[in-house]
Amino acid sequence: MKSLETFEITSFESELSEEIKAKAVRALEGGKVLYFPALPFALSKEELKFLTPSILDPKSKNISYDLRTDRLAGALGEAAVLKEMVKRYAEKSRKLLNQLIPHYNQTLIQAKTSFRPAEIFGRKTSYRKDDTRLHIDSFPSSPTKGERILRVFTNINPEGKARVWRLGEPFADVVQKMAPRASTPIWGVPHLLKLLGITKGFRTSFDHYMLQMHDTMKGDLDYQKTVPQEEIHFPPGSTWIVYTDQVSHAAMSGQHVLEQTFHLPLYGLFNEETAPLRVLEKFFNKSLV
Protein backbone atom coordinates (compact mmCIF):
# COMPACT_ATOMS: atom_id res chain seq x y z
CA MET A 1 0.00 0.00 0.00
CA LYS A 2 1.36 3.37 -0.98
CA SER A 3 0.59 5.09 2.33
CA LEU A 4 2.58 2.57 4.35
CA GLU A 5 6.31 1.93 4.62
CA THR A 6 6.70 -1.51 6.11
CA PHE A 7 9.55 -2.66 8.36
CA GLU A 8 10.31 -6.17 9.55
CA ILE A 9 11.47 -5.06 13.00
CA THR A 10 10.30 -7.34 15.82
CA SER A 11 11.66 -5.64 18.96
CA PHE A 12 11.40 -2.12 20.38
CA GLU A 13 15.10 -2.29 21.14
CA SER A 14 16.55 -3.63 17.86
CA GLU A 15 19.88 -2.36 16.54
CA LEU A 16 19.13 -1.03 13.07
CA SER A 17 21.15 -0.43 9.92
CA GLU A 18 21.86 3.03 8.51
CA GLU A 19 19.84 2.07 5.46
CA ILE A 20 16.73 1.38 7.54
CA LYS A 21 17.17 4.62 9.51
CA ALA A 22 17.46 6.69 6.33
CA LYS A 23 14.44 5.01 4.81
CA ALA A 24 12.38 5.58 7.97
CA VAL A 25 12.99 9.30 8.36
CA ARG A 26 12.36 10.01 4.68
CA ALA A 27 9.14 8.03 4.58
CA LEU A 28 7.86 9.47 7.87
CA GLU A 29 8.53 13.12 7.01
CA GLY A 30 7.25 12.46 3.49
CA GLY A 31 3.83 11.66 4.94
CA LYS A 32 3.85 7.89 5.10
CA VAL A 33 2.87 5.70 8.03
CA LEU A 34 5.77 3.57 9.26
CA TYR A 35 4.27 0.14 9.74
CA PHE A 36 5.69 -2.72 11.83
CA PRO A 37 3.38 -5.70 11.27
CA ALA A 38 5.20 -7.89 13.83
CA LEU A 39 6.16 -5.53 16.63
CA PRO A 40 4.00 -6.50 19.61
CA PHE A 41 3.94 -5.02 23.08
CA ALA A 42 3.76 -7.99 25.41
CA LEU A 43 1.47 -7.93 28.45
CA SER A 44 1.78 -10.03 31.57
CA LYS A 45 -1.13 -12.18 32.73
CA GLU A 46 -1.96 -9.63 35.39
CA GLU A 47 -1.92 -6.79 32.84
CA LEU A 48 -4.34 -8.61 30.54
CA LYS A 49 -7.01 -7.86 33.16
CA PHE A 50 -6.82 -4.19 32.19
CA LEU A 51 -8.17 -4.87 28.72
CA THR A 52 -11.67 -3.74 29.54
CA PRO A 53 -13.46 -0.38 29.31
CA SER A 54 -14.65 -0.88 32.88
CA ILE A 55 -11.28 0.36 34.20
CA LEU A 56 -12.11 3.79 32.71
CA ASP A 57 -13.37 6.55 34.89
CA PRO A 58 -16.82 7.23 33.31
CA LYS A 59 -15.72 10.80 32.66
CA SER A 60 -12.76 9.72 30.46
CA LYS A 61 -12.49 7.99 27.10
CA ASN A 62 -8.79 7.14 27.58
CA ILE A 63 -6.29 6.41 30.29
CA SER A 64 -3.53 8.95 30.05
CA TYR A 65 -0.05 8.99 31.49
CA ASP A 66 2.69 11.59 31.62
CA LEU A 67 6.22 10.22 31.89
CA ARG A 68 7.48 13.68 32.90
CA THR A 69 5.39 13.73 36.08
CA ASP A 70 4.83 9.97 36.39
CA ARG A 71 1.08 10.56 36.77
CA LEU A 72 -1.76 8.44 35.46
CA ALA A 73 -5.26 9.84 34.83
CA GLY A 74 -8.60 8.47 33.71
CA ALA A 75 -8.54 5.16 35.58
CA LEU A 76 -10.88 3.98 38.28
CA GLY A 77 -9.48 2.90 41.63
CA GLU A 78 -5.97 1.81 42.63
CA ALA A 79 -4.00 1.76 39.39
CA ALA A 80 -0.32 1.26 40.27
CA VAL A 81 0.09 -1.85 38.11
CA LEU A 82 -1.72 -0.24 35.20
CA LYS A 83 0.56 2.77 35.51
CA GLU A 84 3.64 0.54 35.23
CA MET A 85 2.25 -1.00 32.05
CA VAL A 86 1.63 2.36 30.37
CA LYS A 87 4.97 3.66 31.60
CA ARG A 88 6.73 0.67 30.03
CA TYR A 89 5.09 1.54 26.72
CA ALA A 90 6.23 5.16 27.10
CA GLU A 91 9.81 4.00 27.57
CA LYS A 92 9.75 1.37 24.84
CA SER A 93 8.25 3.64 22.21
CA ARG A 94 10.95 6.20 23.00
CA LYS A 95 13.64 3.54 22.61
CA LEU A 96 12.20 2.53 19.27
CA LEU A 97 12.30 6.10 17.97
CA ASN A 98 15.80 6.64 19.32
CA GLN A 99 16.97 3.60 17.38
CA LEU A 100 14.98 4.26 14.25
CA ILE A 101 15.49 8.02 13.92
CA PRO A 102 18.56 9.01 15.94
CA HIS A 103 18.41 12.36 14.12
CA TYR A 104 15.52 13.29 16.49
CA ASN A 105 17.17 12.23 19.78
CA GLN A 106 18.24 15.69 20.91
CA THR A 107 15.00 17.47 20.03
CA LEU A 108 12.18 14.96 20.47
CA ILE A 109 9.85 15.93 23.31
CA GLN A 110 7.96 13.11 24.97
CA ALA A 111 4.35 14.12 25.65
CA LYS A 112 1.39 12.05 26.88
CA THR A 113 0.99 8.30 26.63
CA SER A 114 -2.50 6.85 26.32
CA PHE A 115 -4.23 3.52 26.70
CA ARG A 116 -7.54 3.33 24.80
CA PRO A 117 -9.59 0.40 26.13
CA ALA A 118 -12.96 1.42 24.65
CA GLU A 119 -14.33 0.36 21.27
CA ILE A 120 -14.15 3.37 18.94
CA PHE A 121 -16.83 2.25 16.48
CA GLY A 122 -20.19 3.89 17.11
CA ARG A 123 -18.98 6.41 19.68
CA LYS A 124 -21.32 9.40 19.88
CA THR A 125 -19.67 12.82 19.79
CA SER A 126 -19.92 16.13 17.98
CA TYR A 127 -18.58 16.10 14.41
CA ARG A 128 -15.49 18.08 15.47
CA LYS A 129 -14.51 15.37 17.94
CA ASP A 130 -15.51 12.53 15.63
CA ASP A 131 -12.22 10.82 14.75
CA THR A 132 -14.00 8.40 12.40
CA ARG A 133 -13.94 11.31 9.95
CA LEU A 134 -10.74 12.01 8.02
CA HIS A 135 -8.74 14.77 9.68
CA ILE A 136 -5.33 16.09 10.51
CA ASP A 137 -4.67 16.46 14.23
CA SER A 138 -5.18 19.94 15.63
CA PHE A 139 -6.61 20.60 19.07
CA PRO A 140 -8.54 23.75 20.04
CA SER A 141 -6.98 24.13 23.49
CA SER A 142 -3.41 23.09 22.62
CA PRO A 143 -1.72 25.28 20.02
CA THR A 144 1.53 23.75 18.73
CA LYS A 145 2.94 26.90 17.07
CA GLY A 146 4.20 24.67 14.28
CA GLU A 147 5.77 21.96 16.41
CA ARG A 148 5.13 18.52 15.01
CA ILE A 149 2.78 15.87 16.45
CA LEU A 150 4.34 12.43 16.11
CA ARG A 151 2.51 9.36 17.39
CA VAL A 152 3.40 5.74 18.00
CA PHE A 153 0.53 3.22 18.22
CA THR A 154 0.46 -0.48 19.15
CA ASN A 155 -2.62 -2.66 18.87
CA ILE A 156 -2.83 -4.86 22.00
CA ASN A 157 -6.27 -6.35 21.33
CA PRO A 158 -6.37 -9.90 22.79
CA GLU A 159 -9.18 -11.15 20.51
CA GLY A 160 -7.58 -10.73 17.12
CA LYS A 161 -9.42 -7.53 16.36
CA ALA A 162 -7.68 -5.04 14.06
CA ARG A 163 -7.67 -1.30 14.49
CA VAL A 164 -9.16 -0.03 11.27
CA TRP A 165 -8.10 3.34 9.90
CA ARG A 166 -8.69 5.25 6.74
CA LEU A 167 -5.86 7.30 5.26
CA GLY A 168 -6.71 10.24 3.02
CA GLU A 169 -4.91 12.47 0.54
CA PRO A 170 -1.43 14.03 0.98
CA PHE A 171 -1.17 17.13 3.19
CA ALA A 172 -0.44 19.48 0.29
CA ASP A 173 -3.71 18.38 -1.35
CA VAL A 174 -5.63 18.87 1.90
CA VAL A 175 -4.23 22.42 2.02
CA GLN A 176 -5.19 23.15 -1.60
CA LYS A 177 -8.79 22.17 -0.90
CA MET A 178 -9.31 23.26 2.70
CA ALA A 179 -7.12 26.33 3.29
CA PRO A 180 -9.06 28.55 0.82
CA ARG A 181 -12.24 27.78 2.79
CA ALA A 182 -10.70 28.86 6.12
CA SER A 183 -11.68 32.09 7.84
CA THR A 184 -8.98 34.69 8.43
CA PRO A 185 -7.60 34.92 11.99
CA ILE A 186 -9.16 37.86 13.84
CA TRP A 187 -6.73 40.25 15.46
CA GLY A 188 -6.86 40.10 19.27
CA VAL A 189 -8.71 36.78 19.49
CA PRO A 190 -5.58 34.68 20.28
CA HIS A 191 -4.76 37.00 23.19
CA LEU A 192 -8.29 36.70 24.50
CA LEU A 193 -8.30 32.89 24.20
CA LYS A 194 -5.07 32.73 26.15
CA LEU A 195 -6.23 35.23 28.75
CA LEU A 196 -9.46 33.32 29.33
CA GLY A 197 -7.54 30.06 29.64
CA ILE A 198 -9.32 28.56 26.61
CA THR A 199 -5.99 27.85 24.96
CA LYS A 200 -2.81 26.66 26.67
CA GLY A 201 -0.62 29.36 25.17
CA PHE A 202 -1.05 31.58 22.14
CA ARG A 203 -3.07 30.31 19.16
CA THR A 204 -0.87 31.33 16.24
CA SER A 205 -2.19 31.87 12.69
CA PHE A 206 -0.75 28.44 11.94
CA ASP A 207 -2.86 26.89 14.70
CA HIS A 208 -5.88 28.83 13.48
CA TYR A 209 -5.58 27.46 9.95
CA MET A 210 -4.87 23.90 11.13
CA LEU A 211 -7.98 23.97 13.29
CA GLN A 212 -10.07 25.43 10.48
CA MET A 213 -8.87 22.72 8.10
CA HIS A 214 -9.52 20.03 10.73
CA ASP A 215 -13.09 21.25 11.24
CA THR A 216 -13.82 21.87 7.55
CA MET A 217 -12.65 18.39 6.54
CA LYS A 218 -14.70 16.72 9.24
CA GLY A 219 -17.75 18.82 8.44
CA ASP A 220 -17.75 18.05 4.70
CA LEU A 221 -19.44 14.68 4.26
CA ASP A 222 -19.04 14.76 0.50
CA TYR A 223 -15.27 15.23 0.92
CA GLN A 224 -15.21 12.37 3.44
CA LYS A 225 -16.79 10.05 0.92
CA THR A 226 -15.16 11.08 -2.33
CA VAL A 227 -11.57 11.99 -1.42
CA PRO A 228 -8.99 9.35 -2.51
CA GLN A 229 -8.49 7.07 0.49
CA GLU A 230 -7.33 3.67 1.66
CA GLU A 231 -8.64 1.49 4.45
CA ILE A 232 -5.88 0.00 6.59
CA HIS A 233 -6.23 -2.84 9.11
CA PHE A 234 -3.63 -2.78 11.87
CA PRO A 235 -3.80 -6.23 13.47
CA PRO A 236 -3.00 -7.01 17.11
CA GLY A 237 0.76 -7.25 17.57
CA SER A 238 1.41 -4.49 15.06
CA THR A 239 2.88 -1.03 15.68
CA TRP A 240 2.75 2.08 13.51
CA ILE A 241 4.29 5.55 13.66
CA VAL A 242 2.80 8.61 12.00
CA TYR A 243 2.88 12.40 11.91
CA THR A 244 -0.80 12.90 12.68
CA ASP A 245 -0.58 16.66 12.06
CA GLN A 246 0.34 15.86 8.45
CA VAL A 247 -1.29 12.57 7.54
CA SER A 248 -5.03 12.68 6.94
CA HIS A 249 -6.44 9.82 9.02
CA ALA A 250 -9.64 8.45 10.53
CA ALA A 251 -9.96 5.71 13.15
CA MET A 252 -13.02 3.61 12.24
CA SER A 253 -13.08 0.70 14.66
CA GLY A 254 -11.00 -1.26 17.13
CA GLN A 255 -10.40 -1.61 20.83
CA HIS A 256 -7.31 -1.64 23.06
CA VAL A 257 -4.48 0.39 21.66
CA LEU A 258 -1.49 2.02 23.31
CA GLU A 259 -0.36 5.37 21.98
CA GLN A 260 2.60 7.64 22.69
CA THR A 261 2.66 11.27 21.54
CA PHE A 262 5.87 13.18 20.84
CA HIS A 263 6.41 16.76 19.79
CA LEU A 264 9.27 17.89 17.62
CA PRO A 265 10.33 21.47 16.95
CA LEU A 266 10.81 22.20 13.26
CA TYR A 267 14.57 22.52 13.56
CA GLY A 268 14.69 18.90 14.74
CA LEU A 269 13.39 17.64 11.40
CA PHE A 270 15.52 16.13 8.70
CA ASN A 271 13.63 18.21 6.12
CA GLU A 272 11.39 21.14 7.15
CA GLU A 273 9.83 21.48 3.70
CA THR A 274 7.13 18.88 4.30
CA ALA A 275 6.15 20.19 7.76
CA PRO A 276 2.57 21.55 7.91
CA LEU A 277 3.84 24.97 9.00
CA ARG A 278 6.12 25.28 5.97
CA VAL A 279 3.49 23.97 3.54
CA LEU A 280 0.90 26.42 4.86
CA GLU A 281 3.35 29.32 4.86
CA LYS A 282 4.13 28.60 1.24
CA PHE A 283 0.42 28.49 0.41
CA PHE A 284 -0.38 31.81 2.14
CA ASN A 285 3.00 33.28 1.21
CA LYS A 286 3.60 34.68 4.69
CA SER A 287 4.90 33.73 8.10
CA LEU A 288 2.22 32.10 10.28
CA VAL A 289 3.92 31.99 13.70
Contacts with Fe ion by CB under 5 A lie at 137
Q: State the residue number with the nearest CB to Fe ion.
A: 137
Residue 163 interacts, among Fe ion, ligand SIN, none and using kind-specific CB cut-offs from 5 to 8 Å, with ligand SIN
Q: Which is nearer to ligand SIN, 116 or 148 (CB)?
A: 116
Closest approach of Cβ 153 to ligand SIN, in Å? 6
Closest approach of Cβ 165 to Fe ion, in Å? 10
Closest approach of Cβ 189 to ligand SIN, in Å? 26
Phi (first) and psi of residue 243, to 5 degrees: -80, 100
Rounded Cα gap, residues 276 and 247, in angstroms: 10
- How many other CB atoms sit within 10 Å of the CB of residue 73? 14
Q: Which is nearer to Fe ion, 79 or 220 (CB)?
A: 220
Q: Which helix (H) or strand (E) holds 6?
A: strand 4-6
Using CB under 6 A as the criterion, what x/- string covers residues 225-264 for binding ligand SIN?
-------------------x----x-x-----x-------
Number of residues that bind ligand SIN (CB under 6 A): 9
Closest approach of Cβ 191 to ligand SIN, in Å? 29
The answer to whether 258 and 153 have CB atoms below 8 angstroms apart is yes
Residue 257 interacts, among Fe ion, ligand SIN, none and using kind-specific CB cut-offs from 5 to 8 Å, with ligand SIN
Residue 288 interacts, among Fe ion, ligand SIN, none and using kind-specific CB cut-offs from 5 to 8 Å, with none
Q: Out of 92, 133, 163, 256, which residue is the one contacting ligand SIN (CB under 6 A)?
A: 163
Rounded Cα gap, residues 100 and 22, in angstroms: 9
3-state helix, strand, coil in the chain (%, to 5): 35, 20, 45
The answer to whether 14 and 99 have CB atoms below 8 angstroms apart is yes
Interior angle at CA 142, CA 51 and CA 36, nearest 5? 45
Q: Which is nearer to Fe ion, 137 or 220 (CB)?
A: 137
Closest approach of Cβ 188 to ligand SIN, in Å? 31
Rounded Cα gap, residues 167 and 262, in angstroms: 20
Closest approach of Cβ 214 to Fe ion, in Å? 9
116 binds ligand SIN (CB under 6 A): yes
Residues 116-152 as b or e (16 or more Cβ within 10 Å = b): bbeebeeeeeeeeeebbbbbbbbeeeebbebbbbbbb
By the criterion CB under 6 A, which residues form the site for ligand SIN?
116, 120, 131, 137, 163, 244, 249, 251, 257
